A = this chain, B = another copy of it.
């Protein structure tokens, strides 16, 4: 029944959280592959051996982080797709939600951006699989849009992949702007312009 209560379970969850948070903060300026088990446990304030009670190795901790990070992303994507109004407004909503995600969970977003093409195969594949799901959902939403009437199926997926990738581009741009001490107005304007351009191309696509 996996009780959500119980003193023991609570403590277990607490240290697991400590491990994940420690890793996440170390990953701000490092990559997962260069992270040491002892390093993480030290930052989390537990003994090295406690690590094994929760994860087999660092790759498994990594995929746990992927699940966490993409859970937030998933709600964001769903919100965007569910947004009503013309595609112009929907683009604005998308950029706004990405911005909010980066603002509230910068470490998670940075982790995703960095490890998407990173050096740990298991993590790479976990992210890629989830992004495929996102692209598929986006494609379904696009196909339901009257603008896409008469589009070939492969053209829809072509566009949805572009949009998903653009989401990552935008998130990365926000992170970079923060790192340079800039505010986000320029990055926001760029992202909005690009979405608008893509939207224009979509409207005039020979369907």
User: Is A16 an interface residue when CB atoms closer than 8 A count as contact?
Assistant: no
Q: How far is the CB of A202 from chain B (nearest CB, A)?
A: 7
User: Is A150 an interface residue when CB atoms closer than 8 A count as contact?
Assistant: no
* Cβ proximity bits A78-122 to B, threshold 8 Å, 1 near / 0 not: 000000000000000000000000000000000001101111110
User: Is A169 an interface residue when CB atoms closer than 8 A count as contact?
Assistant: yes
Q: How far is the CB of A44 from chain B (nearest CB, A)?
A: 20
Given the complex, which residues of B lie within 8 Å of A176, measured CB to CB? 128
C-alpha spacing A128/B29, complex, angstroms = 16
Closest to A154 in B: B189
User: Is A30 an interface residue when CB atoms closer than 8 A count as contact?
Assistant: yes
Given the complex, which residues of B lie within 8 Å of A161, measured CB to CB? 190, 194
User: Is A34 an interface residue when CB atoms closer than 8 A count as contact?
Assistant: yes
- Among B116, B119, B158, point to the contact of A194 (Cβ < 8 A): B158
10 contacts between A and B (CB under 8 A): A30-B119, A113-B117, A117-B117, A154-B189, A154-B193, A158-B189, A159-B194, A200-B201, A200-B204, A201-B204
Listed in ascending order, the chain A residues whose CB lies under 8 Å from chain B are 27, 29-31, 33-34, 113-114, 116-121, 128, 154-155, 157-159, 161-162, 165, 169, 172, 176, 189-190, 193-194, 196-205
